[in-house]
A and B are shown apart, each in its own frame.
Chain A
Amino acid sequence: MEDIPILKVNNAEVIKKQKEKLDKLKKERDEKKVQAALDRITKAAEKVREGVYEKDYNLLALCVHAAESLATVGEMSLAMEKVFGRYKAEVQTISGVYLREYRDVGDEKEMETFRKENQKKLALIKEKVDLFIKEDGRRPRLLLAKMGQDGHDRGQKVVASSFADLGFDVDIGPLFQSAEDVARMALENHVHVVGLSSLAAGHLTFTPSLRDALKKVDLEEVLIIVGGVVPPQDYPELKANGASLIFGPGTVLTDAAIELLDLLLKRIKK
């Protein structure tokens, strides 16, 4: 793939600056006024939940007012969370789709070579999975994690469904997790691999923090792989920070599975 010029944002620097700005804001604003504005939001939220829709309880207007008093967006949403709770994204997946697609043999001639090749790959993957089970004692287990403010979970679902079809046990992590959340799930589920799905450009921040969090719970042996929208320019830095394999856009799922299994098998032999 040819190099596409990409604007690189130094995440650590941005976070630092943002935090400083927030601290400054919180020091300089009228705290009493902010709290009063936030309380009004909470109170209005209660009314709204009871079904009372009156002009005084217009949440948007109250949020504008709170913003004018220099409340942050986070504080406003927390004021409402007290009443409404936090949104929980339900994970729903189906399996069997990919296996069927790969196995399906149609009449079109131009598809035939493609399908034959895939049949071969599927057989190879099964062989490798079986070998892994024989050597390790357990089926290869993969946790697909989403970290930070990144709600794009279609890729996570596609990979989960297809890797399960290819013979992996796949754990699906909830959205918006911290490194510690992911490490805890990896620990309790005792996975061999954590796959970090990143589509909101957080990979350079999340990969090292995940590596550190895994180390903290004695899971250094767990492989980290990264998938999603990752520009090739970032590969070296990711690899230096704990990522064993990286799968960018356009990855063929079966190829990714083969690569991962080869690495897993190589590590057992060591």
Chain B
Amino acid sequence: MKENHIIDVLENRSFASLSESERARIQAHATNCSSCARAYEATKVASSLLRERALEAVEPSPFFHTRVMAALRERQNEVPAFKRLWQAAGALVSSMTATVALLAVLSFVVPGTQTSATAQASESNGYSAEEVILNQNDLQDEQASDAQVLTTLYPAEEAAAK
């Protein structure tokens, strides 16, 4: 049995799966080969370590399933961070859109309403803003003839006073 062959045997299969006759052959070779003896001993120790480690096991606590169910509910209720950001951005965009729309309404629709209201008022008064401006002179004439109006309205009293 060559040295490499023994190492191959040790590496191909787990130490525990080697039969008694295989171990005896390896040991027989190892007595005359120090490298194989080291490999054999190290493999044996490694196997013992792994098997001792395999004996250890942690058991679940009685509250484990309660904790899992609580964590599950928490995760289900949890809104993902991206979704939260998207919702916040959505609210911001909505409020900005509403503001722009309101400003647009105030800028274009409300002045139009005022114009029509003014026009209605002018119609009821019987004159328009343009007429008022254009007839400034007429207005001055009217103001100048106030004394005449008084005389016309109360001629008898005027005459008696005189």
Our verdict on whether A and B bind, yes or no, reads no
Residues of A at under 8 Å CB distance from B? none
